[in-house]
Amino acid sequence: MSTGSRQKRDRIPAKNKKVYRWKKKVRNSPLVKEKDRRELKKIFVLLWFTALVGGMLLLLVWQRFRPVFTNYEIQQLDTKKKALLEKQRKLCCYKEQLRTLERIETSARSDLRMKLAEPSQVVYVKLKKAAENRDGTGKLIASLNR
């Protein structure tokens, strides 16, 4: 008899024999994988190199776009300056319109119901320097002449 046929015979159970199978439970939960220092070092070097390249790319992009943003700001400020100068010009014109004597006179007559003063109602004011007065403050002092 050959050994191959014998192994087959042993594997096939006889009809009268009972075959029991035990399943052994393997618990791998208490097992901990050992940290490989070389792999950690490789990962750290790779992450450091990636961060360095990413930082350099970010710096390059920032340097390229910074002048563009600065030009946008300059254009906005120029537009704002032109608008403010135009507003200043309009306000100066409006101020000069308000200062005209004709407008003041018509406004006084119509809105405030004032009348022209008669020559006897006019009072002239003379200004004297404080050096002529005894207080010596240098202020101008008004005196009325009637």
Most confident of 11-25, 73-87, 98-112: 73-87
Q: Model confidence at 72, in pLDDT bands (50, 70, 90)?
A: very high
Is 143 domain-assigned?
no
Is 58 domain-assigned?
yes
**Which pLDDT score is estimated for 145?**
54
Is 12 domain-assigned?
no
Q: How far is CA 134 from CA 75, 109, 123, 129, 138, in A?
A: 61, 42, 25, 10, 10
Report how far residue 46's alpha carbon sits from residue 50's, in angstroms, rounded to the nearest whole number. 6
Is 70 exceeded by the pLDDT of residue 58?
yes
35 versus 5: the higher-pLDDT residue is 35
The total number of structural domains in the chain stands at 1
Please give the average per-residue pLDDT across 63-83, as a whole number: 95
Q: Which domain holds residue 43?
A: 39-111
User: Among candidates 122, 123, 128, 124, which has minimal Cα distance to 142?
Assistant: 128
**Which pLDDT score is estimated for 137?**
56
Structure pTM?
Answer: 0.42
Is 59 domain-assigned?
yes
**Which pLDDT score is estimated for 79?**
97
Is 80 exceeded by the pLDDT of residue 65?
yes
Is 61 domain-assigned?
yes
User: Among candidates 120, 91, 121, 116, which has minimal Cα distance to 104?
Assistant: 116
Is 21 domain-assigned?
no
User: Among candidates 125, 25, 3, which has minimal Cα distance to 11?
Assistant: 3
Is 1 domain-assigned?
no
- Tally of helices (H runs) and strands (E runs) in the chain: 3, 2
